[in-house]
Amino acid sequence: MAANALAASPEASARDLMLAKEFHGQNIVGWAMSEKLDGVRGLWDGRQLISRGGHAFAPPPGFTKDFPPFALDGELFGGRGTFEQTAAALQTGGSDWQGIKLHVFDVPEASGSLYERLQEARDWLARHPACNFTVIEQRPVQSMEQARRFLKEVEALGGEGLVFRNPELPYSAGRSDGFLKWKSRFDEECTVVAHHPGKGKYTGLLGAVTCENRHGRFRIGSGWKDSDRRNPPAIGAVITYRYRGFTAKGLPRFATYLRRFQEN
């Protein structure tokens, strides 16, 4: 297997994916909701798996042998808290794809409502149960209180957030008002501009970094694994952090390190 398992695919880049907008309190009663998976976007075009950037993945032999002849849009996902491992496996290919499946949230070329489109994928899966894809459960939204409870459940389990879909809208390219994502914690990128040494049990290791982005300069001292503290992102590296709103000075509140930035 080549060191980089992504190959350019001109055909893939011609397809526009449906992309989510942020949820800002819109009326979503009657919509479908599901967990927002922290994986890597993947489109099965009937012949190959393609990334959001229009590159073909090189999965292990046999991974897609029972996939359908029609398109599936979803997330290549290996489980909560495994984004870095999943992204690395997708880059290198090979047996590290073990545990990774395509979690399908739409069948782009099918007709009917979202539920009807997804039923086509379920019907195929029923006939080919060994397929390396699954269909993401969609729950009808009955009230905002129900959605808030579901968000808390997902986040308590280490999930990223929720996705809302207007089930009556067809699949369409680009940002959609009928495709919304909701998180109580937000992710953003910043550039590392300084390292600060640790104290106490972290003596000799990284204690924190100073980062910079459009919000200004701020420190990130939590969220680091011991392996990160031993081998921190270099000055000039871009990292992803998680935060909850902003301070009175406009800086990210409760910023915690999430991972080295990987464009997916």
What is the set of active-site residues? 36
Classify strands 133-135 and 139-140 as parallel, antiparallel or unpaired. Answer: unpaired
Rounded Cα distance, 152 and 249, in Å? 28
The rounded Cα 231 to chain-centroid distance in angstroms is 25
